[in-house]
């Protein structure tokens, strides 16, 4: 039954993906037990709970795409979704997190009560919580982007987004259309190609597709890789390998000469792969990116191009005119009959502010973060706190996304910073809340902008989910390598904040 009286917790965590779970574990380790974890889905787990489409797997080695202090015996270099979900459940069980969690709790608004320095958290089902601190870990790639295609509502078959795969629909032996050829499309196509009667990929822009070294581990190796020392060494090696790639994405004065070599090396590799697998010259030319490496997330895969070469797989590059009751009509006039249409069209990150934040945030003086971010710059302090919104902390906030490495590294740093901040406030009874100093926030935003000017994301002319309104400033990705990101957030300083007493 929805309650009218607010239920008080010292801390409310929103979202139960890796960032929400990490925040919970860190709070627990500090001895802070008075928190609740609110999750809108019926199950905990976030990304890897929701994204169960065929072929779903991580594209960063799991030696790095995992929490550094919670090892797991992954079976291969790039773990499939079911293993990442098992890892998520392992974290939940090992730290007894279920007792803090409340599922089917869709947060609709956060409202700050200035007189009492408390946040009011309202949910769709009418629950009302109040708390001192909010940790917003509601995700960035959690809200599916479905393109507006004429006629979609008339389609007689099954139609769904990859992130909400309808497992009640059997696809074996069916005619399937996959719209989108980004990261998820490139995983879905090879996973389904051998099982369907006909697969048509409606390909968008060319992608940077690169081969990867993926292999299965023996049971002994799986065990050895979880041992302290060994796993830390492997993690460090993979961390450095991935972070060095950042030089291809940002111009550094001293080493910028390396970037063209790196880029032409990758261009040659892709060209060779396309020559090997794609016979059709027009398609091959279409698949060679005309934008810089890294402007879109690089797709590491060994199975996508061979799948495109299969006899039952077609690729359309003319574009979609409309969806019809029987399938899809292409711009060059083909009528393609289909039983199932899958949108592999990605997610809203900080591209559309109406959808990127899944609830309204009202701060001091009735300020509204959603409309501020929509109408002006998406500003924050270190991507974690915001002036005007005391004791509100965001994980995976603006400009903290990874374009080249594991997002978990960023989440580890952010959750550590947040728990340091909460500890500092709780340690001094005279402080009721903190908010970043406006001048420091402004300086931080200016610094990020200046750094972003030197990246391929800002310089590149391509439209992308990581830009505000798809084509304006880069709002999702971080202009720093992970090393820089860690160093600038490793230590929380109370002096950076206004203290509300």
CA distances from 387 to 23, 50, 393, 415 (A): 21, 33, 11, 19
Closest CB 111 distance from ligand FAD, rounded Å: 14
Q: How far apart are CA 193 and CA 311, in angstroms?
A: 10
**Six-digit token pair at 180?**
């989108």
Nearer to ligand FAD among residue 40 and residue 250 (C-beta): 40
Which residue, 349 or 452, is less far from ligand FAD as judged by CB?
Answer: 349
Nearer to ligand FAD, 330 or 407 (CB): 407
- Tell me how far, at minimum, the Cβ of 271 lies from ligand FAD, in Å: 25
Query: Rounded to the nearest 5 degrees, what angle is found at the Cα of 255, between the Cα atoms of 250 and 257?
Result: 90
Q: Is 149 within 8 Å of 322 (Cβ atoms)?
A: yes
**Other CB atoms within 10 A of residue 394 CB:** 27
Residues in touch with ligand FAD (CB under 6 A): 14-20, 38-41, 46-47, 51, 58-60, 65, 105-107, 137-139, 141-142, 184, 347, 358-359, 395-396, 402, 406-407
At 120 the three-state DSSP class reads strand
CB of 109 to ligand FAD, least distance (A): 9
Q: How far is the CB of 470 from ligand FAD (least distance, A)?
A: 18
Closest CA relative to residue 344, chosen from 161, 148, 466, 80: 161
Least Å distance, CB 394 to ligand FAD, is 10
Taking the complex as a whole, the smallest distance from the CB of residue 300 to ligand FAD amounts, in Å, to 9
Shortest distance (Å) from residue 63 CB to ligand FAD: 13
Integer angstrom CA distances of residue 377 from 15, 135, 214, 366, 441: 25, 22, 40, 19, 12
CB nearer ligand FAD, residue 321 or residue 374: 374
Q: Provide the 10 A C-beta neighbour count for residue 116.
A: 12
Which phi-psi region, left, alpha or beta, contains residue 174 (left: φ > 0; alpha: ψ -120 to 50)?
beta
Closest residue to ligand FAD using C-beta atoms? 17
With respect to ligand FAD, which residue has the nearer C-beta, 182 or 460? 182
Choose between 361 and 452: whose C-beta lies nearer to ligand FAD.
361
Looking at the Cβ atoms of 301 and 406, the one nearer to ligand FAD is 406
Question: CB within 8 A of 191, min separation 6: which ones?
Answer: 53, 54, 55
Residue with tokens 């957030």: 489
């Amino acid at each position: 039954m929805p309650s009218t009286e607010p239920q008080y917790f010292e801390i409310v965590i929103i979202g139960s993906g890796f960032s929400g779970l990490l925040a919970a574990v860190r709070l627990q380790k500090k001895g802070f037990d008075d928190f609740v974890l609110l999750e809108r889905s019926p199950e905990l787990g976030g990304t890897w709970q929701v994204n169960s489409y065929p072929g779903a797997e991580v594209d960063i080695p799991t030696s790095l795409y995992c929490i550094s202090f919670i090892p797991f015996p992954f079976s291969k270099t790039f773990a499939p979704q079911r293993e990442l979900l098992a890892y998520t459940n392992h974290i939940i069980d090992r730290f007894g997190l279920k007792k803090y969690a409340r599922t089917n709790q869709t947060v609709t608004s956060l409202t700050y009560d200035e007189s009492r320095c408390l946040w009011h958290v309202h949910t769709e089902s009418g629950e009302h919580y109040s708390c001192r601190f909010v940790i917003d870990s509601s995700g960035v790639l959690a809200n599916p982007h479905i393109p507006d295609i004429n006629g979609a509502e008339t389609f007689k078959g099954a139609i769904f987004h990859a992130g909400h795969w309808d497992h009640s629909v059997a696809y074996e032996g069916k005619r399937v259309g996959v719209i989108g050829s980004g990261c998820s499309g490139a995983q879905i196509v090879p996973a389904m190609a051998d099982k369907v009667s006909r697969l048509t990929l409606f390909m968008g822009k060319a992608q940077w597709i690169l081969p990867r070294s993926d292999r299965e581990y023996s049971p002994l190796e799986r065990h050895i890789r979880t041992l302290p020392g060994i796993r830390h060494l492997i993690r460090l090696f993979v961390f450095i390998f991935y972070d060095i790639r950042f030089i291809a994405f940002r111009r550094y004065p001293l080493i910028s000469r390396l970037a063209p070599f790196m880029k032409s090396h990758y261009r040659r590799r892709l060209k060779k792969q396309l020559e090997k697998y794609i016979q059709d010259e027009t398609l091959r030319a279409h698949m060679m990116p005309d934008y810089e490496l890294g402007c879109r997330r690089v797709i590491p895969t060994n199975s996508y191009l061979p799948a495109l070469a299969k006899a039952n797989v077609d690729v359309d590059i003319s574009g979609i005119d409309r969806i019809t009751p029987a399938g899809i009509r292409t711009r060059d006039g083909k009528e393609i009959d289909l039983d199932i249409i899958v949108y592999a069209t990605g997610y809203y990150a900080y591209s559309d502010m109406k959808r990127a934040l899944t609830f309204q945030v009202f701060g001091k003086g009735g300020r509204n973060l959603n409309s501020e971010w929509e109408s002006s710059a998406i500003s924050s302090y270190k991507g974690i706190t915001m002036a005007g919104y005391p004791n509100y902390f965001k994980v995976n906030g603006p400009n903290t996304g990874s374009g080249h490495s594991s997002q978990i590294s960023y989440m580890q740093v952010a959750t550590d910073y947040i728990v340091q901040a909460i500890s500092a406030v709780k340690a001094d009874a005279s402080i009721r809340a903190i908010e970043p100093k406006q001048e420091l926030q402004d300086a931080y935003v200016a610094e990020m902008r200046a750094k972003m000017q030197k990246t391929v994301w800002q310089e590149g002319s391509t439209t992308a989910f990581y830009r505000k309104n798809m084509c304006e400033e880069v709002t999702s990705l971080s202009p720093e390598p992970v090393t820089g990101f860690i160093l600038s957030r490793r230590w929380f300083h109370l002096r950076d904040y206004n203290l509300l007493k």
